[in-house]
Amino acid sequence: MKKLIAFLADTSASYGPMFGLLIVPVLGTVGASIEYTELQRTRAALQDALDASALATAKELSVTMDTDYLSAYSRNFFDSNLDSIIEPSKVGFTFSANQQQVGGTRVILTAQYTKNTNFGAFIGVDEFPLTITSEVAAGNRTAEIAIVMDNSGSMSTSTGSSGFSRISQARLAAVDLVNQLYTIAALSNKPDPVRISIVPFGGSVNVGSQYRGADWLDMNGWSSVHHENLDWLGSNTNGDAWTGAYAASDGFRSASTTTNSVGPNPPDPLPSGISAYDSTWLTRWTLFDAIDTDWAGCVEMRPGTHNTTDTTPDDMTPDTLFVPMFAPDEPNYHSYEDDDYRNNYLDDYARPGPDYQKTNANSGNYTRQIRRQSWTAKYNPGAAWTDYDDYRRSYNDRLGFNRSRDMGDWGPNQGCTTNPILPLTANQLSAINAIQAMDAGGYTNVQAGLAWGWRTLSSGAPFTQGRAYTVPENDKYIIILTDGNNTYPGQSTRNETEYYAWAYGRDERVLEGLGGWESNVAAMNIKTKTTCDNIKSIIDADNEAAIKIFTIAYDVADGSSVKDLLYHCASVGRNGQKYYYDVSGDAIADTMAAIGNEISELRIAR
């Protein structure tokens, strides 16, 4: 330091004058660099606070359009997010919200700030005026949301401080979510900016009985699984054949039987795309009609890999068609036979006409019991049980009589426990009514709910209300809630399980394509995971995941396999976190609101 002072004080040479001449441009260059860095920091701080405020204020549009409130809200939010290098009182701030001819309602915020310089004397500038704008476009995108909700029997369990059931709490939260989404939609100038589908699921999914006759259903019995547990010819059961039955190409026919494709009591008018026709194919529809029972609307899981995909149904590839659930009449009990068959709704030996002797051979052992289950000739109105005591059980008219919360009615619709799907709709009240109609009953098949949520969002059959993945600025979401693991109800008989959307356990349909060592539930988990992966692999016109999945584990115990399954299934959000929620009780309301906020997240347009 002493040397520097001495150098500056030395007048014996020209160093002092030279330094005096050079110091101004040197300090100017250094100062300009420092000022530029500070200016950029200030600009970024203003922009970040303004963007945060614009986004938060745009969300408030779903609550109110009061401009005084919105202006004050935006300014307060801006001030609270400002970096400490800026004094809020020195920032000029303006707010506006305008309905545009294109792009919906826009929130526009502007911040004006004068940045004083520290090196003004050297760089010739004393202050930098800054004007920063942030604009959020509300309604510049459309959204399609599938709300997929567990309606299994365990959802009747009470939870939370109110003591309401899980299904009640979930219904209330889902209704609030629908209202939240449609309020945001009102700000848009795009047609149908929000569409919502409702998919209740238990052990199966109900697609709607009004679709009987649709070309995506297996109306002719051509699917490889359509005739499981049904013997039309009698050759495999030592019993009587269906009258006039014969094998024909991929199925069975009978010239003596004609079935109307839409059933004996079709809806009027018929749904779009459905026309009635007569058929001589022998199918599950034939048996529904033979015992004068309507199909409730549930379908089985498709065979092969088609249950994990959204493959378009095509009768040229019959296994892509959807097969109606038809629970066979399980056999009467005799000595030395299994007594745990639980869906015995017909008398095995009641036949139309006088010819009964062909049935008498098949009674008295396990093998013959299964043969009796497969007979189709017993399906006639006179075979329905009424006022009959069948080994510790006595029910009036079992055909259609409710037998349990989890399995639903006796009869061919056993296991079909939920209300029908509501396809994508822009009608807010329809979505709310479908949610409020949900009730708890049945087992749990998460994959079925997930897969049908997906099918309501896609543009291909069965449900075609969804926009194509090639449509830009359109977001699709699945919100799936469950309170427990996948289940496959067991039975101590040769069937091994209750009849289910996967048919009987002895058919090993759920194990198809796997190693063979898995339990039924483990196999269901694997196929649920595959379905999730297939959904998330689709890319849309904006070059991002076409469908984003929110998963909710509701009142699920720690260690439950479904938690890992749901965590894996959930998409990753903007903040890098999974769209996975592990909640209980009353917290479901906040969870649905948080999901609504994420879906309503609005793009910042600067």
Q: Quick one: average pLDDT of 567-582?
A: 93
pLDDT for position 5 = 46
Structure tokens at 442: 């049945």
Domain-embedded: residue 604: no
Compute the half-sphere exposure of residue 209: CA atoms within 13 Å on the CB side of its CA.
Answer: 18
Show which of 415, 434, 463 is a domain's final residue.
415
Question: What are the CA-CA distances from residue 18 to residues 2, 8, 14, 30, 367 (Å)?
Answer: 20, 11, 6, 19, 113
pLDDT for position 22 = 46
How many Cβ atoms from other residues are within 10 Å of residue 172's Cβ?
Answer: 18
Question: What are the CA-CA distances from residue 499 to residues 252, 302, 392, 434 (Å)?
Answer: 23, 15, 21, 27
Question: What are the CA-CA distances from residue 4 to residues 7, 9, 25, 347 (Å)?
Answer: 5, 9, 20, 115
pLDDT tens figures, 397-420: 677 777 788 998 889 999 999 999
Residue 366 pLDDT > 70: yes
Residue 389 pLDDT > 80: no
**308 & 361 share domain:** yes
Exposed/middle/buried for residue 215 (C-beta within 10 Å: 0-12, 13-18, 19+): middle
Cβ within 8 Å of residue 163, ≥6 positions away: none
Provide the CATH number for the domain around residue 516. Answer: 3.40.50.410
**31 & 151 share domain:** no
Exposed/middle/buried for residue 585 (C-beta within 10 Å: 0-12, 13-18, 19+): middle
SS3 274: coil
Show which of 415, 436, 452 is a domain's final residue.
415
Q: Given its phi and psi angles, is residue 416 left (phi above 0), alpha (psi -120 to 50 degrees) or beta?
A: beta
Q: Quick one: average pLDDT of 17-21?
A: 48
Residue 394 pLDDT > 50: no
* Rg of the chain in Å (alpha carbons): 34
Domain-embedded: residue 606: no
Q: Quick one: average pLDDT of 234-258?
A: 88
pLDDT band at 473 (very low <50, low <70, confident <90, very high): confident
Q: Quick one: average pLDDT of 289-318?
A: 96
Alpha carbon distance 515, 408 (integer Å): 32
Q: Quick one: average pLDDT of 179-198?
A: 85
Domain-embedded: residue 453: yes
**403 & 422 share domain:** no
Cβ atoms 321, 493 nearer than 8 A: no
Map tokens 């009849």 to a residue. 499
Ranked by mean pLDDT, the top range of 322-331, 368-377, 402-411 is 322-331
Structure tokens at 308: 């994990």
Share of the chain above pLDDT 90, in %: 62
Cβ atoms 189, 101 nearer than 8 A: yes
**360 & 382 share domain:** yes
**236 & 356 share domain:** yes
Domain-embedded: residue 83: yes
Question: What are the CA-CA distances from residue 167 to residues 164, 179, 435, 481, 488 (Å)?
Answer: 8, 18, 10, 10, 21
Cβ within 8 Å of residue 530, ≥6 positions away: 308
User: What's the number of domains the chain is made of?
Assistant: 3
Alpha carbon distance 82, 78 (integer Å): 6
Cβ within 8 Å of residue 94, ≥6 positions away: 109, 110
CA nearest 223: which of 374, 329, 324? 324
Q: Quick one: average pLDDT of 556-562?
A: 93
**509 & 461 share domain:** yes
pLDDT band at 587 (very low <50, low <70, confident <90, very high): very high
**326 & 429 share domain:** no
Alpha carbon distance 169, 555 (integer Å): 11
**249 & 351 share domain:** yes
Alpha carbon distance 430, 425 (integer Å): 8
Average pLDDT value for the chain: 87
Taking each continuous run of H as one helix and of E as one strand, the counts in the chain are 12, 19
Structure tokens at 145: 């949301």
How many Cβ atoms from other residues are within 10 Å of residue 494's Cβ?
Answer: 17
More confident residue, 131 or 56: 131
Map tokens 């009990």 to a residue. 333
How many Cβ atoms from other residues are within 10 Å of residue 582's Cβ?
Answer: 16
pLDDT band at 95 (very low <50, low <70, confident <90, very high): very high
Range of the domain at 306: 213-294+298-415
Residue 164 pLDDT > 90: yes
**259 & 400 share domain:** yes
Structure tokens at 595: 């999901």
**473 & 560 share domain:** yes
Cβ atoms 96, 130 nearer than 8 A: no
Q: Given its phi and psi angles, is residue 103 left (phi above 0), alpha (psi -120 to 50 degrees) or beta?
A: left
pLDDT tens figures, 50-86: 998 998 888 787 677 788 999 999 999 999 999 888 8
Residue 390 pLDDT > 50: no
Residue 597 pLDDT > 50: yes
Show which of 87, 120, 138 is a domain's final residue.
138
**122 & 146 share domain:** no
Alpha carbon distance 242, 236 (integer Å): 13
Alpha carbon distance 148, 436 (integer Å): 13
Our CA angle for 489, 495, 499, nearest 5°, is: 50
Dump strand ranges (E) for 426-483.
474-482
**471 & 445 share domain:** yes
